[in-house]
Structure 1
């Protein structure tokens, strides 16, 4: 079994569908860094079930999908398929008989992974189960990637054991053992639960047995109690029947008394109504007088309000005058204060200015001293820099010459190595042949003609594109129709919901009630009408809510049905009612002529005419009788003295909405039929496309085969020509390079001598410069101290000058601000004087209007006195009438009280009678429920039996039943049921114990087999490691060691000592030594249990050329039994490969494959 090819599409950088073939057992994947080589390893790991995005160099599983580049858009899914050649039938199980097995994994942007085996969808576990024991898997030893070599060697003993187990093929045993342990755990849990149930059931059976005996006794006593209770109920029924007959006589007498009282009350009601009418007339007269009285009161209040407002205005003017005078006095005082402040600030300013001038002189002096000190420091620094510059030159010279000597020595070493390699290559090139075979050129010419002929035939008959275009057009039309179907279904659902709400069918409680009463299948009125086109709105305006009415035959039985009607509105229409004859008094058609129906509409449309327009209807309005009306086509309804307009849209109209629903149903039917036709056409087109594709694939296969042969011939010819030309050019180039290398070595050796002389002179000069450095360093502290003192004095003088300058500026600013404030206050004093004069004038002018308003108020008060007298007289008449009315109402209330008393007595007697009736009926129900008939019990009653005797007998029976305690009446049946269950559970317990013993025996067998296989595999791998390690290292030894005693869980440690080393742990080895040790271990495993293929990702990276040669030789030896696919940058490793698979990234972010067969290339080179 080996890996035949890998098919990638959309996986990481392999965006285009790519097939990577592995025709031999030694295939090398090569290419520059970042071109996507390791993505091939990731693809194999991923398709074998890797679930960790981190192990695929990502953060989430969708990172394996091509995410776009500068020139390409991201794709929606990634897929990888591995195709295995299984001619040796190494795979076990159901796929053992297949000569070729493919496994495939696909993931989309939703991170949903799908797995396939031979094109059949499967689970991830199915794929991992196929490769159990073969060494293949997402994390098996058959895939060794970058960094895994060091992790393998440095892994913990428990982790290293996993590789030994996989090589031993016991991973499947571990899976079986894990499943068996899980089943044992479940079986033990079931046994424990079953034991608990059995123990509990045993206790229940003992308790149920006692309860069943008590239940039998209870049944006998209960039967006797039922008979006695039936006798008592019959005696009570007889007593209640006699009492009920007496109550009926009392009720008849009370009803007569109530009728007499009602007649007297009606006489009093007539008198009360007369007095109420008189009272209304008197109140109207009183209202007129009161209105006049209130009008005068309003006028008086208005004038009084004006007087009050005028007085308030005068008072406000006086307050303003007082406030203005106070402000003028305050401003005058503030002027005096500011004048004194200006005098004080002038004096302070004259004191500060001389002090500031003196301080500035001191500051200038300290600044001069600081400059002198800093000049001295700069001179010292200049001398120090000049010294360092002089001293730096010999030091730099020494470093440069040392580096130069080292570089020259390395250059000579590299030149010697290169000269050796060039001489070897020169010897090898001298042995290559220079002739080219002519037979390949003739074969090339014939193949080119065949390919051109096949391609011409293929392009002239391309039916696939035509069928694909037809299918695309069909799909586009189908999608459009499906969109219309969805839209129509949405509209229909919306309109049906609106129609149900409009017809009152959205009330769940009302719908339940209709179903209970048998009305749920009856038509609504709106559903049975056929209305002429254009008159739907008119009919709906007339019928209104009657459209929701339920159509039934006869309304006679509705009184009983509507008793328990729930909350909601409900209408009924009698479809059997005959329509009354209507007189056609107008020259207009009746609206009924616009409506068709399977039954009579009765009086719903009686007397209603139809008019085309509102103007026509208005022309006939004055001829309408009170019972007649006209409705227009637009739904405007008018009568003799009224008009009603109902402006609604088509979707809000019940009738028009019903039409829309019908149209949508027809549209849905048409759309479904069209979709069905298109789907049938699509199936036919797809069948035709499959036939055309098969034809084209056959032709393409012929073209591909001929093209492949053509490519092979071209490659051989190109290789021959290139080899010959390259060998000639290379020989000339080697001669020139060898001559140049000789001159270079002589030149470099002479330069080394000169550099050593210059180095010695520089070292002598560096020793002489140390004395001058010590003198300059001693003077540095003296100069720095003088600068620090001068700088501190200068800083203090500057701070003092700054403080005095701020003080001078502050005093000058205060002086300026105070003078500006004095100018503003002087202006304010002048404005206050003008305001005082204005307010005094306004107060004097406000006295004249006040006298006129007081005169008008006096006249209105006199008029109100006359109106008030008339108001008192009218109130007296009203009071007199109301007194007489209250007297009559009192008499009527007394009659009402008497009537209520009689009604109360009647109600009490009726309630008593009804109570007796209910009790009597309840006794009958009790007897019926107890399976007794009243007539039978009465006939069987003993003549001397009384209610007291029955009650005593019942009490005795009750005491006997009570002494039995709580009784479980179901105990007898339950005891039988639980007994049967106990037998079943006992049998189930025996079955579980046998199953547990079987599982434990299986565990022992698995453990025995696992120990045996692990020990044998460990010994063989250890022997292989001890044999391979010295071959790889050229000596030394290595071995495996178990860290524990139990072979089922012991860890495995590795110890390696290269030649000449005695390291105590493997962690002390170098990176290259660890890599070689890991290679020895992995190849030891492969010797024992060869995996179908092995993938190596730059395993040779940390190795030197000598070790790479040993590694490559070992791989070549093992390739006889194992297929190797390795990624490398090393030319030595590439040389052993039979097939080079180049990964390129000519387009940024997109990987492609270029393959080269080394054997064929070597044959071409040898020709």
Structure 2
């Protein structure tokens, strides 16, 4: 079966549906770390039936379901589908009818996994067996995960043996053998227990026989008890049956009474129903008559309301007319009063105007002038007083200010004296402590000298460092060629040793003859032709005592000419004359076409070969160069061994020269390093001296700055103290002068008296002027009042006149309304007389309908009373019936209980209990109480027997049968134990044979692959720790080129990885699989080893047809793939798949190059 395609949906980071084509050849899978490459391998293992969630890198199997990201929700299921090509019909029989197989595994949260093959549900075991038959599976060595190489390297020999077990197909041998041994041990224990059980059963059988005799007496008494119980129970059942029959008769009579009473109730209910049927009609007629009467009554009441409203309206209109007349009279009076008041106000205005005179106006003007004079005198007096008052206040303020200033200056003088003393003490201390340290010039000179020394040391350091860098570069440049030469020499020596070892095996097992292959000399390039022509015949010797030999004494006839006189192989091979006759009949053609053309013209015994290894024989046998033989390969190896001697000599010379150059560079590097280190130490010492000098200079500068600051502070304080003392003397002089002058309090009092007199004169003039102004303002107020009253009465006169006109119009409207409502009461009275007769008739009709309704309701009440009485009789009859039914039910239950007790105790029907009691027919029945007393005696007698095993007879018979059966089983178990022991031995023998066969095959492949991967060297597998292969460990002995044989754990990291890869592929070649997945296997390998690794993959692909999936980060591995698939994670947490076919890309690239070359001249021409 071939793997074609795998589809992932919701599996780990592949949330979207992703198809991955598994094509022939080498397929690379690339991508950054963490993008989900290994998820493809895990998906393949998972769909093959992997059951361990730890192998899936999860804490539970549901962890394979996409768990969601910040931008996408989680999924509830995951599904992986694998498509297989079954056109060769190599699948199991049940699935072998289809050209393509689709294996699907689906998992849902909280639901587990489900498997389907071509849409049919199957078990996980079916899927695992399907892939196991195809030499693959979830745990196959062909699926190499990350870390598996390291596990193989660090594994113990016993653990490493499992690789051979898998190659031999006996992976489960240990578990199955252990299980078989456990079964054997359990069977032996069971046999011992069976013997013990047989002894116990025989003892138990003897005891049961004694118990059987006692059980006989117990059964006899039990039979008597059963007969008495049967008769007692039968009599009680018969009594309940008789009482039940009597009650059933009484119940029938009660049921008849209920029926008759129920008939009477039905008749009463029918009459009541008929009466109720008439009532709605009568009620409707009564309601209709009442409604008509009510309507007429309401109409009459509406007429009364209309009349009353008309009378009320006439009354309101009369009152309104009276109001209008009163208003007209009032407004007329207002007009008359207005005329009188206006005439009176005109007279008052004339009198007021006449009272105004020129003398009053002149007196008011003189009073105003006098007030102005008095106010001017007051202003002058106030100004003089303010000036004197201000001078007095300034005097006292200055006195106080001088006194406060003297007090503050005294305090400041004391403070400045103390500060001056403190500064003097500090300055003295600093000068005493520093002494000569304050010499800044000397320190600056010292620092300059040290800085110059540091610059020189720095220049020297730079020079030595540059020299060291150049020496380092020279050393590195010499180291690479030396390493390359050593590697080349080691590889050549390893290859020579490996080839020498192969040829040395020819003399093993006591063989003393030498094959002609070791003696023949072949021109370069014709080794393949010689091997193809002679094949295994070159293994023969010249010694006639050998099993196969060449006889040089054979007569040499004239050979037949070769076709077209082509050259014979004898022209290119020498060293063994015995082969000359054979070689003359072998022609050498230039190419395959010439060989095909000439092969038909060969004579008997003749052959044609090409330098590439093609062979045509005279009898029609042909073998192309692709079918390489061991002899051809050994000839090439022999030629290679001869060339290796010269190559090794040349390589040794070149290696020695490179080593000498490297040693020279190493010596120069060491000297440069020492000089650089000395310069570095000198620079550090100079830097330390400069730092110390800078620190000293900084300290000196700090002390000098502090001393200068103290000197400045001392001068400032002295200056402030002198100024303070001078200010004190000036303030004392000013204070003494002010105290002598006086404050001018007497002059201030005189000016205050003058101001008071001026104020009194102003007040008197102001009072006189105010009197004249008051008289003038009163007269002006009177005139203003007169004008306002004239305007008011004029407005009232106009308003009254206008109101009279309005009242006249309203009087006309009122008269019109009165005429309108005068006839309404008379018309309403006429309508009331007409409707009175109609109301009387309606009242009579309603009374008749009410009487009929009352008679019907009385009749209905009587019928209802009769119905209730009938219902009461019916209830009593039913109560009696129910009471009898309850009694019947109780008796029936007693009878049922008696019958059920008979069934429970006697296991028979009640009718058969009499027969069981052994009572004679026709005999009178005994009293029940006597029977119960007799039954009690029987029971006491049975109890005196104690515990009795009633099943003793049956148990004894069963135990006897069981003893016979167990004896037969004991014999069968002993036979099975013997067979199981024989089967374990057979299983061990077959396992050893298969393991040893697999060991030989894997060891053979491993030796070849190791030599190929290392470019030489040898390796082998050894079974250690036990003589039994099934218990032995597997040790790997490796002999890399140029090294001694050693265990795998002693190799370098790269050598361990190469050895492990060779081991894995050796197992793979022993039992090839249709698919192989390698997850970052090339990670620890360098470029040259990766190249060998990729070449090996290519050869295995061509040899076995296996499809390889290689997960890698190595650029060289990517380049050697047939196609690449890229796994990206552009969206965080979501993997996507991209593909590139490298072969197609190369074709496109070549086409593009040719097109560019063709277009270049045209482009240049156009430009």
State the TM-score, normalizing by the size of structure 2: 0.41
> Is the radius of gyration larger for structure 1 or structure 2?
2
